[in-house]
Structure 1
């Protein structure tokens, strides 16, 4: 097939299906059986077939393009998770005949204006939201204006995230942070029952969820030993200072952290305080944690991307599914002896 671009007919021949079936997979995948859809998508990937987006826009009057906000570069350690998510989203959108358009905005209001402009210009016809928060006006605007979207992150603070789980106007995919820190804490308890938690200030949905996993694993649901709940903003310098003070004042067997940034601060504090072997567990599984041999919770952003696309493209209600997905993270256990 050298010298020319693969066609729909080529995909149909390799997949052993009709041309119409290939068209259905590209345009209305939810009507195609999963096994057949997988076969066609495998053929698309094998041949490197790229649907003519211009032709599809003319035929369907839709851009088949997903808009996603590109956060400003802020440095730090844990931002790589969102980078991995956007890369995975782009990679997995292509076989579905979709493409990704990134846009910038400095506020929620500016982002709403940008989405409106892109939609009116026919450049996007669906959106993936990131960085959801309590009272997020973007979800309300998108729902009211019938713009298909999926949020990467639960609608924290709205009338019970659980109450929105079946609401098709506010679909979301998130990582089960409590499950991640619960697994991390159970691992750390092998060192002793005094497992501290280094987290963010209370009030953030994500941070509170991760703290809940630690509380559930230790059994400190109602009352918490005040010397075992440490608080820091998400910087290495601040986390190190907090951990150094805490380690000087109390005995702990291990430290579970809400992020790898906090974990690095705790690790540096422990090393400086003469406890280089203190078990510290992070969250995000960044290259920094891997390089230093720090155990960490892997968020699996590739699975998040797959679930987001499923909700954006398919109708989960058609097969009894729900309009939300919680992705189970994985604890990656490391030992500095392996370095």
Structure 2
């Protein structure tokens, strides 16, 4: 019986990990077959050779040398700015790697265009890393790195649900649903959303969770306003909400009424910094949180409990995520074929920024 691969694998250049998945073996076993080494059962060797032929895999020198590579160095690539979540995750990973007696070589970049990402990854590969960790802030980062013949395992910190690689993440989708359920449980039926950047995987997952949760409760999800994670964008978008420029209703003459009670009673900001800006915008117009409008954020940054009022939010344990990355990576390096997706759920932290809507 021949091996069957999916169309996505055939549509791009195959890697050693594609061969391993199709043959049902580890990438180290594929490397042993490529190097014609002993200790590979004939049936296993045949499956690997079939997968190589079916995927038209052309091995690189890096893939051939994978089986003997032991540098005790991990490559860490991050994309995007120095935001709280990715920075805290990277710090947690570095500490866990040090505890496991691994060195970490880092390559960071603001943008994740294919050329820049390829250059960063190639720099790490020249340092003989045993594996690469990608903390992806942008949607295109994984697509770009999957097109590179790495020759080493890749563990991605990325919250979308695409298959085909080892992935560790906090479930942004489920976190957004929990927040909406909290607000609906208080009695809110008009919940505005201020989303993060359109190219952010986490932001898109939070939008998806917000929409689906509202739909399940039979509520309308109007088009979210899009910010950039900063308090300034939350302040600007909060002003638009209050002025009726996003979710507001119109008067008979077609103008926006600007009366907050007609448009929303709660705001779900995509992160805590944007929530801070929203609270400022509401306060500027004389609206009280949570008496007039409830506000929730996402992340639980250290400052969130000291907002005025203290912020209801979803706590993401970024240091724990960093440690989970290293645990997963050690399993991958130890030839554990079953490692695939590791996902945790953030924790709802209820503070004084949410309350039942006023009459």
CA distance in structure 1 between the aligned counterparts of 2:81 and 2:137, rounded to whole angstroms: 18
C-alpha distance in structure 2 between counterparts of 1:223 and 1:183, whole Å:
15
Which one of the candidate residues 171, 182, 188 is aligned to 1:187? 182
Q: CA deviation at 1:138?
A: 4.0
Could you tell me which residue of structure 1 aligns to residue 48 of structure 2? none
Give the aligned partner of residue 303 of structure 2. Answer: 288
Contact 1:199 1:262 in 2 (8 A): no
1:230, 1:243 within 8 Å by CA — same for their partners in 2? no
After TM superposition, give the deviation of residue 66 of structure 1 in Å.
1.3
Q: CA deviation at 1:73?
A: 5.6
Q: Which of 323, 328, 333 is the matching residue for 2:340?
A: 323
Aligned position for 1:247: 242
Q: Which of 207, 215, 223 is 2:211 aligned to? A: 215
> Does structure 2 retain, via aligned residues, the 8 Å contact 1:263–1:282?
yes
Q: Which runs of 5+ in 2 are unaligned?
A: 1-67, 244-257, 355-359
- Counterpart of 1:178 in structure 2 is 173
Instruction: Report the CA distance between 1:314 and its aligned residue.
Output: 0.8
Q: TM-score, normalised by structure 2?
A: 0.64
The CA distance in 1 between the partners of 2:81 and 2:150, in whole Å, is 30
| Contact 2:312–2:352 (Cα < 8 Å) also in 1 | yes
Aligned to 1:47: none
Q: Is the 8 A contact 1:176 1:326 kept in 2?
A: yes
Give me the TM-score of the superposition, normalised by structure 1.
Answer: 0.67
How far apart are residue 139 of structure 1 and its match? 2.4
1:47-86 residue pairs with structure 2 within 5 A?
62-69=70-77, 79-86=83-90
Larger helix proportion, structure 1 or 2? 1
Q: Is the 8 A contact 1:297 1:331 kept in 2?
A: yes
Instruction: Tell me, in whole angstroms, the C-alpha distance in 2 between the residues paired with 1:225 and 1:112.
Output: 39
CA distance in 1, matches of 2:183, 2:213: 10
Change over 3 Å in CA distance of 1:181–1:336 after alignment to 2:
closer
1:215/1:110 CA distance change after superposition, 3 Å: closer
Alignment-derived partner of residue 201 in structure 2: 205
Aligned residues: 261
Judging changes above 3 Å, is the alpha-carbon distance between structure 1 residues 207 and 220 closer, same or farther for their aligned structure 2 residues?
Answer: farther
Cα deviation, 1:112-157, whole Å, max 9, x if unaligned, reads 22332332343x2211111254443542245x23221211114x5x
Tell me the CA shift for residue 233 of structure 1. 3.4
Which one of 153, 156, 162 corresponds to residue 151 of structure 1?
Answer: 156
Structure 1 residues 198, 320: closer, same or farther in 2, change over 3 A?
A: same
Counterpart contact for 1:285–1:297, Cα < 8 Å: yes
Structure 1 residues 82 and 321, CA, compared in 2 at 3 Å: closer, same or farther? same
What is the CA RMSD across the aligned residues, in angstroms?
Answer: 3.1
